[in-house]
Amino acid sequence: MLGKLNWQAIPFDQPIALAAGAFVVLVIVGAVIWVVVKGYTPYLWREWITSVDHKRIGIMYCLLAGVMLVRGFIDALMMRTQQALAFHAPGYLPPEHYDQIFSAHGTIMIFFMAMPFVIGLMNFAMPLQLGVRDVAFPTLNSVSFWLTAAGALLVNISLVVGEFARTSWLPYPPLSELRYSPGVGVDYYLWALQISGIGTLMTGINMVTTVLKIRAPGMNYMRMPIFCWTTLASNLLIVAVFPILTATLAMLLLDRYLGFHFFTNDGGGNAMMFQNLIWAWGHPEVYILVLPAFGIFSEVVSTFCGKPLFDRRSMIIATLGICILSLLVWLHHFFTMGAGGDVNAVFGIASMVIAVPTGVKIYNWLFTMYGGRIRFSSPMLWSIGFMVTFVIGGMTGVLLASPVADFVLHNSLFLVAHFHNVIIGGVVFGVFAGYTYWFPKAFGFVLDERLGKAAFWCWSIGFYVTFVPLYVVGLEGMTRRMQHYDRPEWYPWMLVAEVGVLIILCGIALQVAQLWISIRERATRRDLTGDPWDGRSLEWSTSSPPPMFNFAVLPHVVSDEPYWSIKQQALARGQLVAPEPPEYGPIEMPRNSPTGFVTAFFAVVTGFSLIWHIWWLVILGLIGAYATFVVFAWRDHREIEIPAEEVARIDRANRTARAEALRELREGVTR
């Protein structure tokens, strides 16, 4: 009746897992009760859960990412502590549990922290920068978010009901086949990723279409902000490679559920093919993550140096070059699997070549800073921290790109340090910069700067204290994922790494404090003009937060720094560029819809019942999903109209604020 599900699924005999699971359940139940009791449910449902507004969806993505960052970091803390304790000792985590923790850490950080954070920022900022009202397919956007959340939910359910995969963040067969992983852990992983993978693919399609087909009049390709170019490149990669992930995981699922022989040891299966296909997805995936971060840095650096970005054209070409090259290097993840010298050499050289366009970008940022008036606000600190940290990580990457070196260092802690170097230095610093940069636009008040800077320093110093020891022990031969070890030369470095991760913990605590305190003090931190950083692109021409329709009248773009040129003109003339209010018309916006939430609900039901082999529930879940689709397709009213008077009222407030800011600027200038 309930398939494989029974009371043994709950980890009553594992105290740590039980405590963690109980804590998570209490927090979630407590949050739900608080929301319901305080009467927030209708507001949440109407304004957030059923929202198809790209800004709201972007914020929810970032919120999901923030929560999962904490969960993934706790996993990291547990791993570091285990390795700091387990010298000639068993540590406190038995191997079965430790294996689940490092698998969960990687899976959560990549799929449910980094991807949502990056996608959330792209969702929020890209339409505003393009000067338009929403993405191409707003309801699909909502479905994408909720499917991602569904995947995250499934992974977290595994903490309480059942177990997670022990096969690391990429489940190599034959270990991940049914024979060697008969439990539900790998199934949790596979279904969570298949479900959220569909969401991500939909996002890719949505954003590619938006960037190519929906821009303000006058915005040709050369006038598009660099963040939108990197959004395009990243989403082209999503469209190109997520289908490979879907197919490969499907093959593993077929092996596990229906006894197929794609990757099995018997029947002619080829386990090596899994690694080939999964890395054909996996390498572009990391560029999907880092390209938008590069875009964020381009925006932040030019804004906080008060200069246009140095050589936009080479920046764009470098972005597209990285996009294409990232598709040509995947074998460097399995040099040691034995493809031979010829194949290894080709992929090794390609992997080194990809450093060239990346270097072009670094030089462009440096030249942007040179001669500029640099303001060391926290987004700029994150950017400078990125430039130093990512370059070091990139250099170790080029080192690993040599098959000769990689044969020694493959799957050592040197590798682990390298990819954390580039992911933390690149992606994490990037999303933190973007979070701080666009927070005032999203919520209407600025985050506390002092706490933000303190958090940056903790993260930066903590990162080096954690991972430089890992470089060292990697060179000394320590393999990754070790539950215990007995080499005395590694032990002190593990202790240093433990200190490092505690410093990062302080950084995260400071970020939480920053958010809490800024929210409490938001009345004094209001962003009244919509332009707290003296920005250069179009999102800063809206109020903070922008109205639902973003722009009362779509701007006409004539330069590659649209808002900057508007501001210069206004300063010169002493009045708003459009002194008379424009002619307002009614604006049609897409109507909110529960489709996303309901689809995700059925996805969770279907996924959970597939994992536990509850077949009748699977069928119900699929029928529910199809019914949702039909109901959505059958609706008559797809848009709401915002009357012209409402548009006029909102825009007039924005114009008044800007006229006031202009007056103050000019008085400051002439004084």
Residues in region 331-350 near other proteins by CB under 8 A:
331, 337-340, 342-343
Instruction: Determine, following the binding rule CB under 8 A, whether residue 555 of this chain makes contact with other proteins.
Output: yes
Strand partners, 642: 587
Q: Which H or E run contains 299?
A: helix 271-304
For tokens 């569909």, name the residue: 198
Which of 95, 371, 492, 585 is in the footprint of other proteins by CB under 8 A?
Answer: 585
Instruction: Determine, following the binding rule CB under 8 A, whether residue 57 of this chain makes contact with other proteins.
Output: no
Q: Restricting to residues 474-533, which ones interact with other proteins according to CB under 8 A?
A: none
Nearer Cβ to other proteins, position 37 or 258? Answer: 258
Q: Cβ of 218: how many Cβ atoms within 10 Å?
A: 14
From residue 141 to residue 180, what is the string marking binding to other proteins with x (rule CB under 8 A)?
A: ---------------------------------x------
From residue 109 to residue 148, what is the string marking binding to other proteins with x (rule CB under 8 A)?
A: -----------------------xxx-xx-----------
Instruction: Determine, following the binding rule CB under 8 A, whether residue 554 of this chain makes contact with other proteins.
Output: yes
Radius of gyration for the alpha carbons in the chain, expressed in angstroms and rounded: 25
**What residue spans of 86-134 are helical by DSSP H?**
95-107, 115-130
For tokens 């000067």, name the residue: 131
Positions marked active-site: 61, 71, 75, 79, 102, 123, 134, 141, 144, 148, 200, 203, 210, 283, 285, 287, 298, 314, 358, 361, 418-420
Residues 663 and 656: their CA atoms lie apart, in Å, by 11
CB 536 → other proteins: shortest distance, Å? 15
**What residue spans of 161-260 are helical by DSSP H?**
185-213, 226-258
Which of 425, 590, 596, 621 is in the footprint of other proteins by CB under 8 A?
Answer: 590
Q: Restricting to residues 254-273, which ones interact with other proteins according to CB under 8 A?
A: 254-255, 258-262, 264-273
Query: Could you write out the DSSP letters of every residue in 519-564?
Result: HHTGGGGB-SSS-TT---SGGGGS-SSPPTTS-SSPPPP-SSSHHH
Q: Restricting to residues 24-53, which ones interact with other proteins according to CB under 8 A?
A: none
Sequence-ordered list of residues with C-beta below 8 angstroms from that of 664, at least 6 positions apart, any chain = none
SS3 580: coil
Nearer Cβ to other proteins, position 27 or 631? Answer: 631
Nearer Cβ to other proteins, position 168 or 264? Answer: 264
CB 242 → other proteins: shortest distance, Å? 7
Nearer Cβ to other proteins, position 267 or 371? Answer: 267
Residues 337 and 118: their CA atoms lie apart, in Å, by 32
Instruction: Determine, following the binding rule CB under 8 A, whether residue 622 of this chain makes contact with other proteins.
Output: no
| Alpha carbons within 13 A on the beta-carbon side of 190 | 28
Amino acid identity at 367: F
Nearer Cβ to other proteins, position 268 or 488? Answer: 268
> How far apart, in Å, are the Cα atoms of 101 and each of 94, 164, 279?
11, 8, 22
Q: Restricting to residues 562-581, which ones interact with other proteins according to CB under 8 A?
A: 565-566, 577-580
Sequence-ordered list of residues with C-beta below 8 angstroms from that of 442, at least 6 positions apart, any chain = 55, 58, 59, 124, 544, 545
Instruction: Determine, following the binding rule CB under 8 A, whether residue 103 of this chain makes contact with other proteins.
Output: no
Nearer Cβ to other proteins, position 233 or 289? Answer: 233
Residues 336 and 409: their CA atoms lie apart, in Å, by 10
CB 593 → other proteins: shortest distance, Å? 14
Backbone angles phi, psi at 642, to 5 degrees: -95, 120
Contact 172, 165 (CB under 8 A): no
Nearer Cβ to other proteins, position 28 or 343? Answer: 343
CB 273 → other proteins: shortest distance, Å? 6
Residues 55 and 63: their CA atoms lie apart, in Å, by 12
Q: Restricting to residues 279-298, which ones interact with other proteins according to CB under 8 A?
A: 280
Cis peptide before 94 (omega within 30 of 0): no
Which of 553, 620, 661, 665 is in the footprint of other proteins by CB under 8 A?
Answer: 553
Number of residues lying near other proteins (CB under 8 A): 89
Q: Restricting to residues 184-243, which ones interact with other proteins according to CB under 8 A?
A: 201, 204-206, 208-209, 212-221, 236, 239-243
Q: Restricting to residues 356-415, which ones interact with other proteins according to CB under 8 A?
A: none
Residues 590 and 47: their CA atoms lie apart, in Å, by 13
Q: Which region among 49-57, 148-156, 252-260, 614-622 touches other proteins (by CB under 8 A)?
A: 252-260
Q: Which two three-digit tokens encode residue 198? A: 């569909």
Instruction: Determine, following the binding rule CB under 8 A, whether residue 637 of this chain makes contact with other proteins.
Output: no
Q: Which of 442, 443, 431, 133 is nearest to 295 (CA)?
A: 431
Nearer Cβ to other proteins, position 232 or 451? Answer: 232
Nearer Cβ to other proteins, position 142 or 389? Answer: 142
CB 229 → other proteins: shortest distance, Å? 13
